[in-house]
Structure 1
Amino acid sequence: MIATHSPALPKTLILGIGNILWADEGFGVRAVEAFHRRYAVPESVTVLDGGTQGLYLVQFVREADQLLVFDAIDYGLAPGTVKIVRDDEVPKFTGAKKMSLHQTGFQEVLSAADLLGSYPRRLALVGCQPLDLEDWGGPLTVPVRAALAPALEAALAILDEWGLVVTPRPAGDDGAGLLAHDIDVASFERRAGE
């Protein structure tokens, strides 16, 4: 979903990255999906499932003044632990202890945006320590699923700090499908259980 941006407000990108086919590796995608279902954002904000798109995300990052990323990150902490990393520290964490190809790709996205002269002035990474990255086609593990709520709370606090007003969606409005083609969490987990 790409919003039309107001020139008066900084452009903000809320991005979830990861691979939903590898259990907890899908944390970033599931977090941005949950965020989109629960909250409406101003027109200056884009909410995007970046999946494993790697360098295809460069243009989105270049257009953002502020970038908030959800991702599974190996911090060496207890599974399900949410940790926030900011600004210059973000590339260090997206490149350390690589768990999958998308992390290398996202570190390259940040480098490419910087080299092209358009780099977000504010960055925040809401990362979650995974438990299982080997369960092909499996859902998020219990501790990582439990981390979704604290991750969303952390994101709301960051967005508030950045001066953005995020509002809960009215009952019955789930944001009309950030993820399509039956890869939303309910459809995906229903099919995995069949």
Structure 2
Amino acid sequence: MKVLVLGIGNVLWADEGFGPRCVEAMAEAFALPDHVRLLDGGTQGLYLLPFLEEAEAMLVFDAIDYGLPPATMKVVRDGEVPAFMGAKKMSLHQTGFQDVVATAQLMGCCPAKMTLIGVQPVELEDFGGGLRPAVAASIAPALEIARAELASWGIAIAPGRTETDDLADAALRRDAYEQGRPSEDQACRLGDIRFFPAAKAETV
């Protein structure tokens, strides 16, 4: 069974980056078999359709506004996944991915099995910001949920590492991104000066 493990969201917008950070952590923690593909889907929307077409099962990590307490995780499956993806949109990426699933369903090529591992964000209004501590702490539990879900699909994964070209550029990986962060005064409300020259001008 071909499986797609997908993280979606914007790593430049605080807790929106939960999904990509999960697949990044999964690549570092587990040795996945060749028929399981790890993909940082970012905010690519319909460009993700070919990946769904070739998958028989899909596991998605994402930050979702469930209306629950911050950092709460919730797992939904199969037919519930599109409904939760569009229940309360936080950003354009959710609209885009809901459209991807709907298009795949109309084309008759949507994965037969779908699982969404979502976390309630703590903070989104911080462009250039990183994951808040409570959401970052949810990554490890999310990976264990994913491991159990894959096991229920008959896929056992062992500790190790997965080499893949389907993740973000090394400069955007969490450690490199966070270590290069300016001070909070420069980055939090004005924007990260690595991406906003105007923010740099206001702080000098």
Cα distance change, pair 73–28 in 1 and its aligned pair in 2 (3 A)? same
Offset at 1:115?
1.3
- Counterpart residue number, 1:72: 63
Counterpart Cα distance in 2 of 1:156 and 1:134: 31
Which residue in the other structure is 1:144 paired with? 135
- Cα deviation, 1:103-130, whole Å, max 9, x if unaligned, reads 0000000011111111111000000000
What's the RMSD between the two structures over aligned residues? 1.3
Q: TM-score, normalised by structure 2?
A: 0.86
- Could you tell me which amino acid in structure 1 is paired with residue 169 of structure 2? A
2:19 aligns to what?
Answer: 28
Count residues in correspondence. Answer: 182
Aligned twin of 2:181: 192
Q: Deviations over 1:45-85 (max 9, x none)?
A: 10000000000000101111000000000011111111100
Residue 150 of structure 1 deviates from its aligned partner by 0.9
TM-score normalised by the chain length of structure 1: 0.90
Partner of 1:62: 53
Asked which structure has the greater CA Rg, the reply is 2
Is the CA contact 1:16–1:32 (under 8 Å) kept in the aligned structure 2?
yes
Identity %: 54
- CA offsets per residue over residues 101-159 of structure 1, 9 Å max, x none? 00000000001111111111100000000010011111100110111111111101100
- Which secondary structure does the structure 2 equivalent of 1:75 belong to? coil
Deviation at 1:174, TM superposition (A): 6.8
SS at match of 1:133: coil
Q: C-alpha displacement at 1:175, in angstroms? A: 3.7
Flag structure 1 segments of 5+ consecutive residues without an equivalent. 1-9
- SS of equivalent residue, structure 1 residue 64: coil
What residue ranges of structure 2 are gaps of 5+ in the alignment? 184-204
Task: Answer whether contact 2:32 2:162 (CA < 8 A) is retained.
Answer: no
Contact 1:55 / 1:105 at 8 angstroms: preserved in 2? yes
Please tell me the residue identity of whatever aligns with 2:17: G
